[in-house]
Amino acid sequence: MPKQTFFNLPKEKKESLIEAAMKEFSRVPLSEASISNIIKDAAIPRGSFYQYFEDKDDIFYFLLEEYSSTLNQRFRSILVKEDGDLIPTFIESYRMMLESIQNKEFRYFFKNAFLNMNYRIENTISKSISEEKRNSRFAEVAKLVNMDLLNIQHEAELFHVVKIIRAVTFQNLIQVFALDLSIEESIKNYTLDLHLIKNGIYKK
C-alpha cells in the first residue's frame, strides 16, 4: 500500500502519478514495467517516488486494490437491486466490468494483468467477491444473498459456490483478452456458464 506521504499529496499530484503508472502498466506487464518511465511521465524525482511507494509492485497492486473496491461496491448495489439473486447479479456485474474497460488505456492495463495472472493479482481483484478466508467483504455480500433461491444450507457452502463462480469469471475475462472477444460474445459465453452452474448438469 502507498505510504502516508502519498495520501498527503495534493489531488493533482496524486492523479498525475496514478496516470503515469497506468500508462506504464498499460504499455507492458508488471514484470517489464519501468519506474523510470513512471517518474518521467509524472515529472517527479526518483527519490520522491520511493517516498510514496516501496517499488513498482506497490503502486501496481494499489491500482488493482482501488479497482477491487469499486467492484465490491458495484456488486453489492446490483445484488440489492436483484433482491439477492446471485446469478443475475454476477452477470450484470460482469457486463459492467467489460464496459468499464473499453477505454483503451484501461483495457490494456487489464489485458496485461489478466494475461500475466498470478495468485496475488487474482486475489487482489477478487476481494470484491471472495477470499480464501471468509473476511468482512464476503460477510457483507453473504448477508445480501437470498439463500431461499439456492440449493445450499450454510454460508460455508455459499462461500464455495462464490469461489466456483469467481473461477469461471476469471476464465471468461482471460478469454476476452486472449481471443479479443466483443462484449456481446463474452456475455453470451459467461451467461451460458452461469446458467449451467444454476441448473446443474445432472437431470432432476
Is residue 129 predicted with pLDDT exceeding 70?
A: no
* DSSP structural state of residue 9: S
Q: What are phi and psi of 129, to 5 degrees?
A: -125, -20
Region 4-10: mean pLDDT is 95
Region 130-140: mean pLDDT is 64
Q: Please give the Cα distance from 39 to 47 (Å, whole number).
A: 10
Is residue 3 predicted with pLDDT exceeding 90?
A: yes
> pLDDT band for position 28 (50/70/90)?
very high
Q: Please give the Cα distance from 37 to 24 (Å, whole number).
A: 7
Sign of CA dihedral 56, 38, 99, 193: negative
Q: Please give the Cα distance from 65 to 31 (Å, whole number).
A: 18
Q: What are the tens digits of pLDDT across the range 190-202? A: 999 999 999 998 8
Q: Please give the Cα distance from 83 to 7 (Å, whole number).
A: 37
> pLDDT band for position 1 (50/70/90)?
confident
Region 176-182: mean pLDDT is 93
Beta strands in the chain (DSSP E): none
203 vs 12: which has the higher pLDDT: 12
* C-beta of residue 177 within 8 angstroms of C-beta of residue 114: yes
Region 110-131: mean pLDDT is 75
Per-residue confidence (pLDDT) for residue 134, from 0 to 100: 52
Q: What are the tens digits of pLDDT across the range 35-84? A: 999 999 999 999 999 999 999 999 999 999 888 888 889 999 999 999 99
157 vs 133: which has the higher pLDDT: 157
Per-residue confidence (pLDDT) for residue 127, from 0 to 100: 61
> pLDDT band for position 5 (50/70/90)?
very high
Sign of CA dihedral 108, 109, 114, 115: positive
Give the burial string for 113-143 (b: 16+ CB within 10 Å, else e).
bbeeeeeebbebbbbbbbbeeeeebbeebee
Is residue 130 predicted with pLDDT exceeding 60?
A: no
Q: Report the chain's mean pLDDT, rounded to a whole number.
A: 90
